[in-house]
Structure 1
């Protein structure tokens, strides 16, 4: 996402626990800043927002893309594992959104883009992702509620629900059996390419979606058709 936002002319703030990787990517972009951040930590969230405002003076778009997952049969998933997913994927997302939204609401404009998942709507069948599913369903609910709360104050809140894409959470889709399994269950017959999320992101980040809020764009190649 950082590259496509940079190419569109945006100043970009990268934030994650992998600060070395972010710093390298920021150095390759036109106008970017890397800030170490664990979204679960209040002091990290506050430092991130402060750094963004100091560098750019305002925050027009927030992309909530932090997420963790792991697979356990639901009857065996440790409660701490379940809580960890909620803490990062839902609670951390909400807490960061609160901080950023205060500045957006004061200014009367802004776009929040949350990363949900098709897991919020449809079982991923063999994956054993109860904690992840619950956390992403929470993201969908938050998206709609925050949109309703803030719409009249100029802040839009939407989400993207990706299907199967190469990412750390899917181990890059390097398992041929997994790719085959996904392809058989997807209307377009293949997993997505990571660049195929760019259009949805740019649409929600810009005035192209100026009359859209509280919505979830599902980008899944037709997985949820069935």
Structure 2
């Protein structure tokens, strides 16, 4: 697939899935704008892309979100594809404590930032008849494996449903919106969440007894963003090594 002359904006691009997506789009000929909060990690990803626009920003802040779009348009003159990937998890439960603190932190980045950037990007995507791919999670389809994950699951369910609703509104304008819901993927997610689990623990939660690599998810994202998926919108694509069916 070629993305020559396409401009792609990727949030959460400093590591994991976002980094893999940005590098894959660049390799396919796209002009990429990569967004994240960790400058050193962003620089490492930028080194693997061709002339990327590197934007250090906290997209939970309205001024930063606006700046991300403005800088992308100023640099490249257009926007064809928006990849809303940035996300995190914070432990907190109704009975065990820290519920509202965790809820506010998670919803700000996992949901509100997605809605905000989609809204800001909309006028530019209408001009290019572009598309959006939002990175959700199978957690949005399942009840939490443990109580402290409640807010993460709720946030990802919101992302998946928002994507469907946005797809309905964008469709008459020729703009597609889809979602990718990964299962366990080898990223720095566990480290960032201070989790005691290992990726070997997650293997046992899948039917295929494996955990995905980030480039498996980027392959799916690029397909959905390409003309090969021109008839697909409002859909959620699961790539989870059978984790959902194992819990069914």
Band of TM-score, shorter chain? over 0.9
- What is the total number of aligned residue pairs between the two structures? 225
| Alignment pair present for 1:197 and 2:214 | no
1:99 is displaced (CA, Å) by 0.5
| Alignment pair present for 1:91 and 2:126 | no
Structure 1 residue aligned with 2:233: 213
1:219 is displaced (CA, Å) by 0.7
| Alignment pair present for 1:7 and 2:23 | no
Is the 1:68–1:169 contact (alpha carbons within 8 Å) kept by the matching residues of 2?
yes
| Alignment pair present for 1:111 and 2:128 | no
Deviates more, 1:22-31 or 1:156-165: 22-31
Is the 2:135–2:180 contact (alpha carbons within 8 Å) kept by the matching residues of 1?
yes
Please list the CA deviations of residues 1-52 of structure 1 after superposition, one character each: whole Å capped at 9, or x if unmatched.
1111111111110111112321342243213110111111111111111111
Structure 2 residue aligned with 1:101: 122
1:183 is displaced (CA, Å) by 2.1
Q: TM-score of the superposition, structure 1-length normalised?
A: 0.92
> Which structure 1 residue ranges, 4+ long, deviate > 3 Å from structure 2?
172-181
For structure 1, which runs of at least 5 residues remain unmatched after alignment?
Answer: none
Task: Measure the CA separation in 2 of the matches of 1:46 and 1:21.
Answer: 22
Root mean square deviation, CA, Å: 2.1
Q: TM-score of the superposition, structure 2-length normalised?
A: 0.84
- CA, structure 1 residues 184+221, in 2 after alignment: closer, same or farther (shift >3 Å)? same
Is the 1:108–1:153 contact (alpha carbons within 8 Å) kept by the matching residues of 2?
no
Is the 2:78–2:128 contact (alpha carbons within 8 Å) kept by the matching residues of 1?
no
Q: 2:62 aligns with which of 42, 47, 61?
A: 42
Task: Measure the CA separation in 1 of the matches of 2:44 and 2:209.
Answer: 35
Task: Measure the CA separation in 2 of the matches of 1:166 and 1:127.
Answer: 23
Q: 2:159 aligns with which of 124, 130, 139?
A: 139
- CA, structure 1 residues 68+173, in 2 after alignment: closer, same or farther (shift >3 Å)? closer
Is the 1:165–1:173 contact (alpha carbons within 8 Å) kept by the matching residues of 2?
no
Is the 2:90–2:105 contact (alpha carbons within 8 Å) kept by the matching residues of 1?
no
1:201 is displaced (CA, Å) by 0.8
Please list the CA deviations of residues 125-167 of structure 1 after superposition, one character each: whole Å capped at 9, or x if unmatched.
1372111111111101100000001111011010110100122
Is the 2:181–2:238 contact (alpha carbons within 8 Å) kept by the matching residues of 1?
yes
Task: Measure the CA separation in 1 of the matches of 2:94 and 2:198.
Answer: 20
